[in-house]
């Protein structure tokens, strides 16, 4: 059941529910990417829900949950937060024949660039990107994860999920390494303008990327991602599928969106999947 301004109970006066009708008026426009915006009080996972309906929905469907009880990140990690303390939403994209499927992997990185750009504009907070799908902010001088992105192939499209911690307090953080926009001293923590800013930024970047046939260089995506990526220039450990570990300096993001790591013996190895841990900066 969709949620409008009067629906549901408030966890606190600082965490009002989203106004679904106002979001639709602002985001669903003639000729725009977003075709529907639905807000639900609670669900297990917006990605799972949207994926189950992807075949019957047009591109541009947006599903937002005030609370996720079984939210998922990469590597099947859980993503949980108090109701209305963040933004938890998924969008359905169908690049079609305009973009070769081998370039669809860039959508995770594109979403990171879009979210960082939108948050910078709307909240005045510097958001860095940790390859491939984390959003970082500075809290008390330390890098903290405030958001994550999960892309899943569904038939002829991709469901792209974004989770952002907005007003979580220190006591509410799931792990010490987590953060929130409020803890990073964001100038705005009202979720509606933040959601609109991220979705408008995503529409802009997706349009540029699709118009360029998914070419990350021609669309400016590869350069912009590299400029905002906190992983580049760092000494990292990549924990790869199969239990293999790779340690070295993260030097670049290649044309396929892979992280290029230079090992101690000078070999440059592209990493396409796995968990990357920042060890120290070498800049």
Q: What is the pLDDT of residues 196-240, one digit of tens each?
A: 999 999 999 999 999 999 999 999 999 999 999 999 999 999 999
CATH number at residue 272: 2.30.30.100
Would the pLDDT of 9 be above 90?
no
Q: Which residues of 28-40 are buried (b: 16+ CB within 10 A; e: fewer)?
A: eeeeebbeebbbb
Cα dihedral sign, 186-190-193-196: positive
Residues 192 and 248 in one domain: no
**28 and 117 in one domain?**
yes
pLDDT over 70 at 142, yes or no: yes
Predicted local distance difference test score (pLDDT) of residue 6: 38
CA–CA separation, 215 vs 255, rounded Å?
Answer: 8
Please give the pLDDT value at position 70: 77
Q: b/e for 269-279, b at 16 or more Cβ within 10 A?
A: eebeebebebe
pLDDT of residue 212: 98
The phi, psi pair for 53, rounded to 5°, reads -110, 5
Domain-embedded: residue 8: no
Specify if 3 maps to a domain: no
Confidence of residue 1 (pLDDT cuts 50, 70, 90): very low
178-199 in b/e burial notation, b at 16+ Cβ within 10 A? bbbbbbbebebbebbebbbbbb
| pLDDT of 14 above 80 | no
Is 78 found in the same domain as 182? yes
Query: Does residue 12 lie in a domain region?
Result: no
User: Of 226, 244, 272, which closes a domain?
Assistant: 226
Q: In this model, does residue 267 exceed pLDDT 80?
A: yes
DSSP state at residue 14: T
- Give the pLDDT confidence score for residue 59 in this predicted structure: 98
Residue 11 lies in a domain: no
- Structural domain includes residue 67: yes
| Residue 111 belongs to domain with CATH number | 3.30.930.10
Instruction: Tell me the mean pLDDT in the region 269-281.
Output: 89
Same-domain status, 254 and 198: no
Has residue 283 got a pLDDT over 50? no
How many angstroms separate the CA atoms of 173 and 222, rounded? 32
- The residue out of 185, 201, 226 marking a domain boundary is 226
Average pLDDT, the chain: 92
Establish if 1 belongs to a structural domain.
no
Residue 181 pLDDT greater than 50, yes or no: yes
- Mean of the pLDDT values across residues 155-169? 96
Domain count, the chain: 2
Q: How confident is the model at residue 13 (pLDDT cuts 50, 70, 90)?
A: low
pLDDT for 80 equals: 74
Say if residue 174 is preceded by a cis peptide, omega within 30 of 0.
no
Range of the domain at 88: 20-226
pLDDT at 8 over 70: no
183 and 51 share a domain?
yes
Residues 150 and 250 occupy one common structural domain: no
pLDDT of residue 189: 97
* Residue bearing tokens 């930024």: 201
My answer on whether 198 and 249 are in the same domain is no
Query: What CA–CA distance (Å, rounded) separates 2 from 11?
Result: 18
**Are residues 26 and 135 part of one domain?**
yes
Last residue of a domain, one of 184, 205, 226: 226
SS3 4: coil
Q: Percent of the chain, pLDDT > 90?
A: 87
Same domain for 88 and 198: yes
Mark whether 146 and 251 lie in a shared domain. Answer: no
Residues 248 and 179 in one domain: no
Q: Which residue has the higher pLDDT, 74 or 39?
A: 39
User: Given a cut of 90, is residue 78 above it in pLDDT?
Assistant: no
157: phi then psi, degrees, rounded to nearest 5: -150, -170
Tell whether 2 is covered by a domain: no
Q: 101: pLDDT confidence band, cut at 50, 70 and 90? A: very high
So what's the pLDDT on residue 141? 95
Mean pLDDT of 93-114: 97
Q: Both 272 and 247 in a single domain? A: yes
Q: pLDDT at position 81, please? A: 84
* Residue 169 covered by a domain: yes
CA angle 38, 41, 45 (to 5 degrees): 75
């Amino acid at each position: 059941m969709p949620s409008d301004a009067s629906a549901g109970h408030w966890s606190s006066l600082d965490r009002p529910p989203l106004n679904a009708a106002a979001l639709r008026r602002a985001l669903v426009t003639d000729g725009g990417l977003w075709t529907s915006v639905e807000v639900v009080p609670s669900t297990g996972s917006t990605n799972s829900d949207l994926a189950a309906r992807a075949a019957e929905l047009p591109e541009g469907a947006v599903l937002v949950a005030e609370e996720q009880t079984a939210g998922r990140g990469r590597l099947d990690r859980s993503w949980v937060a108090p109701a209305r303390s963040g933004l938890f939403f998924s969008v359905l994209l169908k690049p079609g024949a305009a973009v070769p499927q081998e370039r669809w992997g860039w959508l995770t990185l594109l979403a990171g660039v879009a979210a960082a750009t939108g948050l910078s504009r709307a909240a005045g907070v510097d958001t860095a990107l940790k390859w491939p799908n984390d959003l970082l902010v500075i809290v008390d001088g330390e890098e903290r994860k405030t958001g994550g992105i999960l892309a899943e192939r569904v038939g002829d499209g991709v469901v792209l999920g974004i989770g952002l911690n907005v007003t979580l307090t220190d006591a509410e953080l799931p792990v010490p390494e987590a953060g929130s926009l409020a803890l990073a001293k964001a100038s705005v923590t009202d979720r509606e303008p933040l959601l609109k800013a991220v979705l408008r930024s995503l529409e802009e970047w997706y349009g540029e990327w699709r118009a360029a046939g998914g070419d990350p260089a021609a669309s400016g995506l590869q350069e912009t991602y590299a400029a905002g990526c906190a992983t580049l220039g760092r000494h990292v450990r990549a924990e790869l599928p199969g239990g293999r570990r790779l340690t070295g300096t993260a030097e670049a993001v290649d044309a396929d969106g892979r992280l290029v790591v230079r090992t101690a013996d000078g070999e440059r190895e592209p990493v396409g999947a796995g968990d990357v841990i920042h060890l120290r900066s070498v800049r």
